[in-house]
């Protein structure tokens, strides 16, 4: 009996670090800190082309939604924004725009800003510059222009990942590359309960933040639940909302 108890206690304490450590560490996606250091470097190196946040200290926030449009989540996000009369910026995937032109039109007609999130969401670091421009960015630019009449020059690279050389070349074509200063991790499965997303926003919020969320590309139920909480909590702290264009330029 004593022996069994001893074994149980010994095994329990041997496993304790394994039991505790995933809980302590995995709410942050692997590689996140390295990613963040790299984009901060890029923002310092290319202050007129590559942006993580606004330049000042106004209590203004730009909510951004990637990976739409889709048939379910993008309209639901639009409904919430309309209810609160909050403007936002949508970085759209070209092939989704071609599939959902009416939702693309709705985004613009309700006063939001649209930007380019590539045609097919590849990792730009694995493509040549001409592939990026000719196959991903320009077709998306053209279809958004055709549907909405808007000529945008805002780009968010898929995964926020882009080589320095690509930033320089896109800068020469007048593109502005918009990453973010606050990732809600709404895309990070198992760690994206609405309250978790809200807590993350409230503990990282700062003046002129650009916040990353998603309006497509997967199950975004928790994004929809978190969005009203975020809007109400930030408004209660004296923040108001604007588009990326107005925040930066």
Under rule CB under 5 A, residue 66 binds Zn ion:
yes
**Per-residue x/- mask for Zn ion, residues 127 to 166, rule CB under 5 A?**
-------------------------------x--------
To Zn ion, the closest distance from the beta carbon of 42 in angstroms equals 18
User: What does DSSP assign to residue 241?
Assistant: E
User: In sequence order, which residues have a C-beta less than 8 Å from that of residue 116 and are 6 or more positions away?
Assistant: 91, 92, 94, 137, 140, 141, 144, 152, 154, 155, 156
* 163 CB burial (10 A radius; 0-12, 13-18, 19+): middle
Under rule CB under 5 A, residue 186 binds Zn ion:
no
Q: Which is nearer to Zn ion, 66 or 186 (CB)?
A: 66
Q: Which is nearer to Zn ion, 31 or 238 (CB)?
A: 31
Taking a C-beta distance cutoff of 8 angstroms, is the pair 86, 231 a contact?
Answer: yes
Among 52, 61, 67, 241, binds Zn ion (CB under 5 A): 67
Asked if 117 is an active-site residue, the reply is no
CA distances, 134 to each of 90, 96, 119, 172 (Å): 21, 18, 10, 15
Asked if 48 is an active-site residue, the reply is no
Catalytic one among 112, 117, 152, 214?
Answer: 214
Question: Which range of residues in 35-43, 58-66, 74-82, 169-177 is near Zn ion by CB under 5 A?
Answer: 58-66
Enter the tokens of residue 168: 């320089």
What is the contact surface with Zn ion in residues (CB under 5 A)? 66-67, 158
Task: Catalogue the active-site residues.
Answer: 66, 214
């Amino acid at each position: 009996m004593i022996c069994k108890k001893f074994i149980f206690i010994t095994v329990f304490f041997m496993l304790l670090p394994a039991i505790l450590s995933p809980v302590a560490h995995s709410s942050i996606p692997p590689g996140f800190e390295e990613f963040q250091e790299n984009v901060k470097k890029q923002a310092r190196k290319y202050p007129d082309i590559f942006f993580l946040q606004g330049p000042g200290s106004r209590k203004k926030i730009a909510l951004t939604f990637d990976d739409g449009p889709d048939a379910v989540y993008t309209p639901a996000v639009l409904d919430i924004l309309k209810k609160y009369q909050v403007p936002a910026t949508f970085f759209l995937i070209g092939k989704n725009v071609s599939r959902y032109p009416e939702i693309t039109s709705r985004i613009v007609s309700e006063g939001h800003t649209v930007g380019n999130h590539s045609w097919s969401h590849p990792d730009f670091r694995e493509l040549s510059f001409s592939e990026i421009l000719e196959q991903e960015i320009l077709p998306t630019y053209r279809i958004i222009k055709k549907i909405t009449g808007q000529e945008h020059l805002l780009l968010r690279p898929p995964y926020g990942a882009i080589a320095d050389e690509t930033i320089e070349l896109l800068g020469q074509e007048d593109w502005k590359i918009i990453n973010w200063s606050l990732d809600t991790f709404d895309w990070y499965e198992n760690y994206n309960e609405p309250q978790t997303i809200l807590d993350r926003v409230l503990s990282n919020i700062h003046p002129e933040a650009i916040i990353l969320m998603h309006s497509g590309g997967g199950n975004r139920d928790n994004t929809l639940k978190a969005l009203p909480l975020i809007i109400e909590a930030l408004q209660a702290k004296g923040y108001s909302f604007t588009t990326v264009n107005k925040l930066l330029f």
